[in-house]
Amino acid sequence: MELLSIQNLTKVYKVPAGFLRKKNFFALKEVSLSIKQGDFLAIVGESGSGKSTLGKIILRLEKPTKGKVSFKGKDIFSMGKEYTRKVSAVFQDPRSSLNPRMKVEEILEEPLIVHRVKGRKERVLKVLQRVRLSEELLEKRPLQISGGQAQRVAIARALILEPELIVADEPTASLDVSVQEEILELFKELNSKGISFFFVTHDIRVVEKVANMVGVIYAGILMELGKKEEVLKNPLHPYTKFLLENVPVRHPKDRKPLKYLQEEEVSIPEEGCPFYPRCPEAMEECKKFIRRSEVNGRLLACNLY
Ligand SMILES: Nc1ncnc2c1ncn2[C@@H]1O[C@H](COP(=O)(O)OP(=O)(O)OP(=O)(O)O)[C@@H](O)[C@H]1O
C-alpha cells in the first residue's frame, strides 16, 4: 500500500542577487516519488542538493512552492494533528534536537501529553526497551548522557506515538562509527517491524545496509530512484555512477577529494540538466532540457533514457 506520495514537488527560495534584488533559487525541481508501507527509502545527495528540504516538506516544516504531498491519499497540509502522530522525525544532532533542560522522562512524555495519550508511564517504559535504554536514564538530561544514548532518546521520542513513517535526516552523521552501526541496526529492526523510513544521507554506503529503495538527488532534481540492489549494482544515471565511484572512505586519512573538486569549480546551470558540465556522457540537448522517464520500474531524469 502506498503510504506517502510526492508529486511534482518544487521548492523555490528567494535569494539575494545584488543590490536590493532577489532571484529564484530552485531547491527542489519537479520531484516525484512514493513510499510504500514497509519501505526504507534512502535519499542520497551531496551538501546543498535539497535532501533536507524534501525531508522538511514531508514533516510540514516547509511548504512547497508547487506540487503535492499526500499521506494515504490525503493532502498532508490539510491534515491535522493526526499527521504528526503518524509521521515523526529524527535529526542529525540529538544535542540540539533535544531540550537540554528537560529530563529524558519529560522528553519522552511530552508528545503523549500533547496528543492526550493515556498510560504514559507504561508507554515510556515500553519505548525505552524498544531502543534498548535502561530506566536509569529517565532522570538524566541530554548533556549527561553519551551522543549515542541521546540519539536513542531522540529515536524513542520519534517512536512514542507509534508512527508509520519516520523521517530521519542524517541521523548517524554526528556519531562515532561503532555507534552509527548500532543505530542503523536499530532502524533496520524497526523497519522489519513495519515502520517505513525516509532516510536522508550524503553517504551512499549507509544505504547499502538498511535501505530497500534508493533515490539520488542532485541540485534539487531526483536523478534516479529505484530498488537498492538494482541501483547500486547497475546504476543507470551518470551521476549515480559518479557517486558510487566516489564512495566516502571510513578513515579520514584515506579520504581523497571528490574527483570533480580537483577540477576547476563548475557552476550549476539553471537550465537543462544541472549535472551536464560534469557529465562524461553529456549531449548538446542536456544544456536545454532534462527528460524524465521510467526504465524497468526505475525513475530517471537523464536524456540518455
Ligand atoms: N530558507 C532558505 N533560504 C534560501 N535558501 C535555502 C533555504 N533553505 C535551504 N536553502 C538552499 O537550498 C539548497 C538545498 O538545501 P538543503 O538543506 O535541502 O540541502 P541538503 O542536501 O540537505 O544539504 P546538507 O547536507 O548540506 O544539509 C541549498 O543550496 C540551500 O542553501
- Sequential DSSP letters for 234-288: S--SHHHHHHHHTPPPSSGGG----HHHHS---PPPSSS-TTGGG-TT--GGGGT
Residue 67 · residue 76 · CB < 8 Å: no
pLDDT of residue 111: 96
For 21, residues 6+ apart whose C-beta sits below 8 A from its C-beta are: none
Quick one: pLDDT at residue 36? 97
- In the prediction, which pLDDT does 304 show? 97
- Answer with the residue of higher pLDDT: 253 or 277: 277
pLDDT above 80: residue 174? yes
CA of 58 to the centre of ligand 1 (A): 15
User: Measured in angstroms, how far is the CA atom of residue 120 from the centroid of ligand 1?
Assistant: 37
For residue 32, pLDDT over 80 is answered with: yes
> What pLDDT score was predicted for residue 249?
57
Q: How far apart are CA 265 and CA 270, in angstroms?
A: 16
Q: Which helix (H) or strand (E) holds 83?
A: helix 81-86
User: What is this model's ipTM?
Assistant: 0.95
Copy the grid coordinates of residue 100: 537540554
CA distances from 115 to 120, 124, 174, 213 (A): 11, 14, 30, 32
241: Cβ contacts below 8 Å, ≥ 6 apart: 235
Please tell me the predicted confidence (pLDDT) of residue 267.
Answer: 74
Q: Which pLDDT does position 204 carry in this prediction?
A: 83
Q: Which protein residue's CA is at the shortest distance from atom 29 of ligand 1? A: 48
pLDDT at 256 over 70: no
Atom of ligand 1 at shortest range from CA of 50? 18
- The pLDDT score that the predictor gives to residue 253 is 53
> Which range of residues forms the domain containing residue 211?
2-301
Choice between 246 and 89, residue whose per-residue pLDDT is larger: 89
Identify which of 80, 75, 69, 134 has the alpha carbon closest to the alpha carbon of residue 105: 134
45 lines ligand 1 (CB under 6 A): yes
pLDDT-derived band at 250, boundaries 50, 70, 90: low
pLDDT tens digits, residue range 39-67?
A: 999 999 998 999 999 999 999 999 999 99
Separation of alpha carbons 5 and 72, rounded Å: 8
Q: What is the rounded CA–CA span in Å between residue 259 and residue 265?
A: 11
Q: Report how many domains make up the chain.
A: 1
Helix 147-159 vs helix 177-192: angle between axes, to the nearest 10 degrees? 20
52 in ligand 1 pocket by Cβ < 6 Å? Answer: yes
- Ligand 1 geometric centre to CA of 266 (Å): 18
* Residue scoring higher pLDDT (282 or 246): 282
205-220 pLDDT, tens digit each:
887 889 999 999 999 9
| CB of residue 202 inside a 6 A radius of ligand 1 | yes
Cell of 115: 496528543
Question: How large is the average pLDDT for residues 12-25?
Answer: 90
Task: Give me the CATH number covering residue 272.
Answer: 3.40.50.300
β-partners of residue 41 are: 198, 213
Give yes or no for residue 48 CB within 6 A of ligand 1: yes
Q: With a 6 A CB cut-off, is 55 part of the ligand 1 pocket?
A: no
